[in-house]
Structure 1
């Protein structure tokens, strides 16, 4: 008796993704990672500002009060003629410093007792800055219209524009030297990529083509996400929907389109890297971190501690000054010591 054997069937191994599909997936992963890092930086910056404000609110309010009290004390001393000669000049200079720190009463007190107002002094400084800028630019500033400060700002804007134009020219030269990857990417611009990918997703996610109600519900949600991404002209978000749709990256997308998508993503990754670096640098500068120190939870917390300690020392200084200003002798001694 012959024994029959049933041939065993095995599932065919999944086809390995093509080089273009792998490149596309790598660029997409890089873009997603950078986007998440930028969002994390934004959250870190918001948390830093909120914590900084909460930590320093009371001290800054007390410092404003101390500044105003000091301005009042100096006003009384100048009216009573407690101060003369160098001490009077020192008191006026001190009122100018308080005004520059945002103490409006100090500016009013200064201008009541000084021969030259703070506004006039600022104009003189603006003229000095203008002269330095003219020397640097090797050309005179426009003398018609506006204040000296406005002319200075206009000149600086022109100088910045010239610098931006030079950088743009250098970037354009680098772009012209790009290799065949760029030339291939030019065959499919971003708008064409958006339209093609959206149409592909709309076809794959159409609810009438999915009998399973659970899968249809999931695809309906993905289609809503794709619609929103298309409205925003967000190619990266559309590609993320595409990635979730199929087990294999970019399933159903032609190789030529994959190559173009990958190049578009490569450009997006470069933009995101620059954006991340700019956000990181801006946050580090805002927190007063030393050059080369990155902004993270630890370095920002340390910066807040140092700033709070400095603020507390400044507050103590002005509170002592206010207490010294209550008598002519102590005020005169304090002004002399602070001048030294």
Structure 2
């Protein structure tokens, strides 16, 4: 059995990993030059950074067990510190990140030592070590069909590659795709730990950026001994005029907005670079489409890393076991867990016991 996986984001990488673990020959087709999607890791100025504050958090034991297995212990716990910039000043968020499991604020989350994409890079590397192939810079134009059954994938070059099953992060045939686009401007600053927050949310109508991430306050290993701090400002748009702005315009905007927020002085900015992520988030819904035998369409648009991992895991089970999982409305797991510095803890170990009488 040969299976094609379209997209090497968290869902696609997970599906490839689970299939390879079961001995299935898998080909992953990724349009970009790296794996991880919006959760990939990037090397900049001698450090490893992500695309904004992409972090993993889950209470599902299936997801947590798989993430820990792929991470191989190469992670640390991060205590998130978040402020909000609005009305022209910074506020400590009155609604801190909540651990809905323990009912306490600001839970620590597990983060790979070399950025969020390390787990998905490990998954794809595992698939390759077990006979699979990961094709980067290989955009897929569409599916090859024989009636209502998928027979493979059609690349942009026109080449058709045959497969018995396809697991796809592309919109299904018949859907009306719509996307958000993302531009991230990275600032290389001379200051060490320019501010103490992990990230700053920016719902201020006077600014265009949505969030400022400070990678200095994540995992120390990702800095690789460098002293300077890397910040990221995120800008979202559609396929419109703002997407077509020159990089220099985005860099100038980011410099002006970080100065307006007041956490970095202009003279502390050593360098800046803009990264464009086309179709970074799908906003379409699948709609009524004709079923295609042998095709699994991955997850809901805008899913978290945890939701994407679950979608990939269930898609693999559908191929391997004909499990019949609904990838768009997965059944919740009855148990609950969380990842700690020492591994996985189940609900019974974390919840205080009630005493009566």
Q: Give the alignment's TM-score, normalised by structure 1.
A: 0.23
Greater share of helix residues, 1 or 2?
1
Bigger Rg over Cα: 1
Between the two structures, name the one with larger relative contact order (CA 8 Å, sep ≥ 6): 1
Greater share of strand residues, 1 or 2?
2
Q: Give the alignment's TM-score, normalised by structure 2.
A: 0.22
